[in-house]
Structure formats: C-alpha cells, structure tokens
Structure 1
C-alpha cells in the first residue's frame, strides 16, 4: 500500500515556506511551526536568479517575482569616493533569466500568500523531538505535541531541530567533530529598507534596473551596500568586519530582531553610503521597526539528516550573504527535498531515511561550492584587512572578465526543478545540468527555447 508521508516543518522562513508550497503542489500533507508570534518582515535586499527562477516559473509565480524586483546588471565597488571596479551580474543573454533584486519581506509575503493560513502555527517554539512508534514527535514550549512521518528543520542558523538531533547523534557517537564546533562570526550588520523616496531628488531610483553599489570606508572596517528596488526604495546594509581575535561567545545572533538597532543607528549616522548619501539619510528614511541588527556568521555542517529528520537552508549551511546564495540554496534544498519526499511510496523509516539520504547526496556538493563562493565574495565586497584589499585589487583590476563569465555560467548551469511538475523550458545558451528524474510520476519533457 502506498501512503504519502506527513511532514512537520519547523520554521516559517523562506526555505520552510517554499518547501510547504512544493509539498502542497505534490499533494503531500504538511504543517509549519514558527516560534515567533507572526512572520517578521525584516531584513534588506535579496537577489535571485537563473538557478532557482525556473521553479518559480513551474509554480506560476515568475511574473509575480518580476513585479517586486528590478534586474541586476552589475555591482560597483568604491573606496570612499574612488571607484575600485565593477563585477558584471547580467545573466539574461546566456542564462535566459535576469538576476533579480528585491526586498526580502516582499518575497516572503508572496510565498506566504500561497500557503493556507491554517497550515502555519505561530508561537510554537520546539523544545524537543523524538521518534515515537512509526513517526516523529515534537514538543513545543506551550506543552503542545505534534506527530508526523518526517521532521524538517528550516529554523535558521541556530536551529533547535539541529541542536536536538545533534544531541541524540552525539550520545550515540554518530556526530562528526566538525558538527560539534560553533559557527564562525565574521561581521556585525545593520539592515533596513527605506520608504519610497522622491525621484526628483534621487532620479536614479526611476531606472528600470537595480543600482547595486558598495562603499568601503577608507580608514575603518566598515562598508555600506545599497540596492535600488521597485517603488523608489533603497535596501541597505551597513557592515563592520570583526577582528579575528574577537571572542565568539560574546556575540549573539539577533535573528533579524530590532533590539540593539537603535543604539547602533545613532553610532553610525556619519558613515558614508552609496549615491553620495550617509547612513543618516538611509536610517531617517526607513521605518524604525524595520531596522535590525544582525550577526553574519558561517558554518557548513556535514550532517543534514538522520532517520526521519532533515535540515535545510541555514540550519545545515549558513552562508555569508555576499554572493546572494543563502536564500537561493535554501529554496534549492526545498526543491530537491520535495522531490525526494514525493518519491517515498510507503512512509516507513527505511524508505524515509533512504529518501533523505538521497536529498543530501544530491545537494551537498553544490551547496558546498556556493558556501566557498560566498566566502570569497565576502572578501571582495567588504573585506577590510590588507590581504582582503590585495585580493580585491587583483580581482577587480587584473582578473580577465572571461573568468567571471565562466564562474557565472557554471553557477547558472545548476538549476534544479520540481520533478513532479511540468518542467519549465530551458532558456539561454548555457548547457543545463541534468537532475534525478521522478521515480513516481512522469512529467512533461523539458523544452529548450
């Protein structure tokens, strides 16, 4: 007898919601558990592109993404008032899709509109998990309990699901040493998005493409990045690189919370920003409740699943946001995981564990590559040590543009799709990598345009 598994998703961020949408399209039951009382619409800009937009096209959401976005053509980097160079980001001709820049909260709102409200349970902080009979159970801080066949931790860099899973694995001597180590703190940030600004004062906001600029401070470890998005708004990120000697235990991730933002906002008002602005201009034009202080950390975990439990997104590979790959990889995780869950014909622990093993096998190396790419881009875009400055000069001044094109093409060649839905056509001239076909349902053939 075939029986679709029921999936418990912990975390209502972009990865968790994207997984829910895919499971819903596959006819697989799920519930989402979010520790916050409501979904937080905080954060700054996000960029997505050819390696995930085909899935949005499959879901009928590509036009909606385009409405909230502006196409990104290049990144300009300055040191004070001096332009250091540019990095090309125009992927339309070769990959068939633009890289698109938008506010994080706009994408999250779009995704949430696709999920029935009764499927999301708020105020559910997961305290413990355990396997019970032929399923897996979670216990929440309000003493409620839920049982399903598969548990997915999509609850961020400090995932409660991961911590509970790793405690069990550690007790059984099954946890690699790397997974016992803390995340590495790299930067502290202040992020926000302005209200609509006056285009007579800032005419560049009316351009159809996204202006993406970074200004590096000449005499400190600070930098400011700005993206222009629809509705004449600017997404901004102030970043301060932490010294390598900073004690790791001193820092706490604020999970996009506004608790420490006010103090930091007052402290950095004088800092130069792109477009001839200062941080004071950007802060004063933004809603205070939408400004938050965050830590940027990184860590690539080796263990993504065990028996009935799987991890996606930041819970298993926390990337620096410099290359814009964190959310993209979370959605790629969700896509491949949905494919593997859909292939499970009978929800026993052996079949589920085999499906989750296939998920990690398909995703691990691609995510690892993007983790390393994000690390390198962080140096180019905001690194302030003398070695960072040397690497940035070499890349911007001496590296052939053809190498950047090759890097982009390799990135865009990997574009997984939901294998239980009609395939989006392959666009552009890049040869797209094949993916594992559905074991359960045939889909329409891929069309090249």
Structure 2
C-alpha cells in the first residue's frame, strides 16, 4: 500500500491528537484530510477503532439497492459504506436517499489507496449487459471469456497469493521442521510467492483485447478484495451480483483465486427475486466470499408468498400490461407478434430500461418511475433522479433491496426471513400507502 508523505502523515497525526482528547477535529484539518484521501473521505485515513462502524466499499453501486437492503430492510447501521459509480444520475438518486457516493470509474481507482487500509467489506455489481439476454452477450464469447479468466489469474499473482506446493516442500526436505529453505530462497512469505510486481493498471491492461470493455469489470471482483488483502487491510467479506448468464467458468476462476488467498468460504447461487416476494421477476447470479467464517448462499427452500404486480400497485385484478405498443397480429394465433402483453395478476416481467413504455392496457396509463421502483422492492417515495429514461434504467439495473438483504444476511448471520417479510408487507399491503401517495398521477 502506498505510504503517506511526511507532510500528509503530519496532518493525520494532528487529527488523531484532536480525536484522542475528544475535541472535534477542526474544519481546516478535516479539509486537509479530505484532500489527501481524495476521492475517499478524509476520516478513512484515521485508524479504525473498536466500536466505530466497519468500513465497506461498494463498487458499481448504482442508486442504492444494496444500501437499502442493508439499512432499510435489515435495519443494520453498523457499517460506514462509501459507494462508487460512474453514472451521475444513479449517484444523485443514491445521495438523495442518504447513501454516500463517489462518481468515478472503479477501474481507474487503486484498491491499495492509503484511505482504504481499514476496509472490512466489498460489495460489487458489475454491469450486466455483456452477459444478459437483454444485451449483445459479448461476455459469452469464448475469446472474451478467455481474456477475462486470464486476467483474473493475474490478480492472484499481482496480489502475491500464489502458493508453492507444500507436497513439493515435503518431498524435497523430508526432515523439515522450520521454514522451507526453498521458499525462503524464492522469496515466499507465509507460503505465498512474492508479488509479481505488476501494478493494478498493468493487470487491467490485459483486458484490452475484450470486444466490450464492460466485460472487464468482472475482474474487479477479484482485484478489490485481494488488492485490499495484499495491502494489509482487514478485509473479511465480499458480495457480488451479476447476470444469471455469467459463465460458471468465470465463477470457478474467481473461487480459485479467493481459495488460493486462504479465504475461508466462497459460495454462489442464482436467485429469482419473485421467489423472495418481490413483485417482478429478476434472476441474477450472486456470489459471496468470507475469510474468517462459514457463510453460504443458497436459494430459499420455501419461497415467500408471491406478490402480483397488480397487488403491489394497488390495482384491481384482471389488468394487463402492454409493453411494446400496437404490434401486428399473427394470423395463426390472433395475438400480437413477439408478445407484448402480460397479466398484472402475476409478478411483472423483468424490468429493463424500456419499461418506461409500459402502459396499462385498459386505459393507457403509463407506468411511473415510482411504480417501477416498487416493482423491484424500493419504497414508494424513493428519490429517483435524472430523466424518465434514466430513472427507469436505474430501476432496471439496480439490485432489488429485498434480495440484497437476503444475500447480506447470509454473510452476517442475520435471520432474514421475518425482516424481508415485514419490509415487503409494508411496501405492498398497507392501504394507507396508496391513500398518501398517488403514484399514477
């Protein structure tokens, strides 16, 4: 991890002196800390102390799905979460809802920044279009998968988590009692090979051959946790979300790198949001990894009660949604070609950015961004920002808070079911919600 200069360390020492006496750190000192720590908050330059919120980095953070799942659904407030996203509108939505955001490209940030040396957790949701059926699926091309997996392997080398085979040591030195002389000669530390010397910029440069640069953001799933670990941060857990089409080969290679770095457990599963009571369908791959305890993520054995779209939005039964306007009829079936209607008496179809064109067939009433948010388990008053198109795209891309709560509960040993049930009941079944907020206006 890069060291602070003497002048920068002096500012940190001054801030710690104030903190140690219980005197508030002066504004000018905090401003200097913020400048040194940029783009991270200056307070993160100060060592974490027992009783303080644990520091978490959230990458490709979007408008706040993970944060809502953690704080609003689970009621967990013992984390200091800083989110990073490149989308300005998504950052504004998150900030308006009370979630901290840095608007930046995560692939240009250094996981070994001095302000991150006390980070405990990483949450990351790389963009899905490269793997999703709604996109061009360039992430499924063999050549792209090969480049991505090769880069993931480079992460372990750059972080210094390649082990010498212990069997080899035993065979060469059968009477070995102390440290292996071969390991010592090769520069191994705690059983690991020395770091390759490649910078994170150089590791990321190996992705240059990808036909879609967004595919390369999957490598950040390994770069950030292992980069933090290599720098000595007390990183303890990671949570990831991606398209359900993410190749298992990529998941396997990620698991290998975490296992080589002695992470205690890596687990992944495909979760369907509707099975967790969310009023829309959304199937996504989630992966978690933990260093010091067992944590497992598997789909719930019993799905929560199904929530229909009409039920969630306070509509009568029998409503239908038109998704693509008037389309020519298929003479063989008498139905619109391509299928452009579905019943609101079931969970809605998976939202995409084009959900902004959805209308209630009976009266042509357009879906609003607030209603779109409800369908993916956000509260009715969530402060979406940006144009109508941008707001719908945010709702389409975001991690459903109810599903985020399920995943984070698995990591932290929280009984998720009653909390998710209560949260969804509050969203979808309180009559007063619809009396107070006219979402279709």
Does TM, scored on the shorter chain, surpass 0.5? no
Normalized per residue, the structure richer in strand is 1
Q: Larger helix proportion, structure 1 or 2?
A: 2
TM-score between both structures, scaled by the size of structure 1 = 0.26
TM-score (norm 2): 0.26
Rg comparison, structure with higher value: 2
